[in-house]
């Protein structure tokens, strides 16, 4: 018995095959990821190095010194402002004291008396302190305005310097962009140099080994390589090229599928044909025209694919005899040439003697 059909195996095995194929694909993808990652870690051009070639380092030093000076001036300004606040507070206090003393003096004059010596001394001390603090206030104010002016000057100097540097930096940045682009292209080429041959090999294997037992392994490997390559291409090349590539690939794939289905509908291969016939017999419907096969106990019944399960055929099994579809004329049950009993005409094996029928013989029967 040279049955061409492979045994399907228990469902848990089939499930595990699918599961481990997917797992295998993920592992392959992972391994490719390491490879790609290593290539990506090749160091590229560094901007500071390039800037050094275009920009006089003296300018950067100058800028740093200016910044430092500006920071110092700002600190000094803040210090002076604090000082002014403190002096202001002190003056306010002194003024209060003086006002009180003057009030006392005024009252004393009204009573035609004079301030005591201590009060007199207090008054003149307070006045002297007040005047001193006013003088300091003015001095600190002047210092503050000098510092503010200095800061303005420094800031404008720094601005000019920055503009000059910016102008010199532009060509540096352009050069850097150019180098980075070249570096990225090199990285992409390196990655594709590894991925594309792998892709070609896996595609070859998938096409070559599609009939073999280990096809899922090749398919898993090819899918992983395909996804990784697509991602690398997408990352390094402008989207518009990738789009054309993708559309071309999809067109080819869909076209191939359509051709495949058209061909398999027009010239079904043996296994598909037998599958179709088997389904027909299972439902007791003519595999060619779907007309109910009314033979044996089902002779006077009616059913469709849906109602078949509810149908209980009568016990009586009449004599088995050849049967031909009354609707399309196809022979569905015939005498077996080997054992002489009645067998399915459109299935490969006789249920009584296991005699095989080739597809060519079957086609003759069908015609
Ligand atoms: Zn028929
Ligand atoms: Zn037979």
Q: What is the CATH number of the domain that holds 132?
A: 1.10.287
Tell me if 162 is assigned to some domain. Answer: yes
- Tell me: do 182 and 326 sit in the same domain: no
Tell me if 186 is assigned to some domain. Answer: yes
How much is the pTM?
0.51
Per the structure, the complete domain to which residue 283 belongs is given by 270-366
| Measured distance CA(321)–CA(194) in Å, rounded | 66
- Tell me: do 281 and 145 sit in the same domain: no
Torsion over CA of 18, 21, 22 and 28, rounded to 10 degrees?
A: 180
Q: What is the pLDDT of residue 7?
A: 65
Tell me if 1 is assigned to some domain. Answer: no
**Which ligand lies nearest the alpha carbon of 327?**
1
- Tell me: do 284 and 255 sit in the same domain: no
- Tell me: do 155 and 20 sit in the same domain: yes
- Tell me: do 33 and 80 sit in the same domain: yes
**Which ligand lies nearest the alpha carbon of 344?**
2
**Which ligand lies nearest the alpha carbon of 334?**
2
Spacing, Cα 326 to ligand 1 middle (Å) = 7
**Which ligand lies nearest the alpha carbon of 326?**
1
- Tell me: do 31 and 179 sit in the same domain: yes
Spacing, Cα 293 to ligand 2 middle (Å) = 21
Tell me if 4 is assigned to some domain. Answer: no
Residue ranges in the chain modelled with pLDDT below 50: 1-3
Backbone phi, then psi, for 236, in 5-degree steps? -100, -20
Q: What is the pLDDT of residue 3?
A: 46
Spacing, Cα 94 to ligand 1 middle (Å) = 123
Number of H helices, E strands in the chain: 8, 3
Spacing, Cα 349 to ligand 2 middle (Å) = 8
| Measured distance CA(23)–CA(210) in Å, rounded | 20
Contact call for residues 334 and 355 (beta carbons, < 8 A): no
CA distances from 108 to 105, 125, 221, 342 (A): 5, 19, 111, 150
Torsion over CA of 177, 182, 187 and 192, rounded to 10 degrees?
A: 130
Tell me if 198 is assigned to some domain. Answer: yes
Question: 286, 184, 277: which is closest to 237 by C-alpha?
Answer: 184
Q: What is the pLDDT of residue 225?
A: 92
Spacing, Cα 338 to ligand 2 middle (Å) = 5
Spacing, Cα 336 to ligand 2 middle (Å) = 5
- Tell me: do 261 and 275 sit in the same domain: no
- Tell me: do 181 and 227 sit in the same domain: yes
- The count of structural domains within the chain is 3
């Amino acid at each position: 018995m040279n049955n061409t059909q492979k045994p399907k195996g228990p469902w848990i095995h089939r499930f595990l095959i699918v599961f481990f194929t997917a797992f295998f694909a993920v592992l392959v993808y992972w391994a490719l990821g390491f490879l790609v990652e290593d290539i990506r870690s090749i160091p590229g051009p560094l901007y500071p190095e390039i800037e050094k070639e275009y920009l006089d380092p003296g300018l950067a030093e100058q800028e740093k010194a200016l910044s430092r000076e500006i920071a110092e001036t700002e600190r000094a300004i803040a210090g002076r402002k604090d000082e002014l606040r403190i002096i202001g507070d002190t003056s306010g206090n002194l003024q209060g004291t003086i006002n009180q003393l003057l009030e006392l003096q005024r009252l004393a004059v009204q009573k035609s008396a004079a301030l005591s010596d201590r009060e007199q001394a207090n008054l003149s001390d307070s006045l002297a302190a007040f005047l001193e603090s006013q003088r300091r206030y003015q001095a600190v104010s002047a210092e503050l305005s000098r510092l503010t002016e200095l800061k303005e000057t420094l800031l404008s100097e720094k601005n000019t310097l920055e503009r000059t540097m910016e102008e010199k930096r532009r060509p540096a940045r352009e050069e850097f962009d150019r180098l980075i682009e070249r570096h990225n292209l090199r990285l992409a080429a390196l990655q594709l140099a590894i991925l594309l041959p792998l892709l070609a090999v896996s595609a070859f294997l998938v096409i070559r080994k599609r009939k073999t037992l280990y096809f899922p392994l090749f398919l898993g490997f090819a899918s992983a390589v395909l996804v990784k390559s697509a991602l690398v291409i997408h990352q390094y090349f402008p989207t518009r090229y990738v789009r054309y590539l993708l559309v071309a690939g999809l067109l080819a794939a869909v076209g191939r599928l359509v051709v495949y289905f058209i061909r398999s509908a027009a010239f079904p291969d043996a296994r598909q044909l037998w599958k179709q016939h088997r389904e027909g017999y299972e439902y007791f419907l003519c595999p060619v025209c779907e007309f109910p096969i009314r033979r044996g106990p089902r002779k006077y019944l009616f059913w469709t694919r849906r109602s078949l399960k509810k149908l209980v055929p009568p016990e009586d099994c009449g004599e088995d005899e050849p049967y031909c579809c009354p609707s399309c004329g196809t022979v569905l049950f015939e005498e077996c040439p080997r054992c002489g009993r009645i067998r399915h005409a459109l299935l490969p094996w006789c249920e009584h003697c296991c005699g095989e029928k080739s597809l060519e013989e079957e086609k003759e029967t069908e015609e």
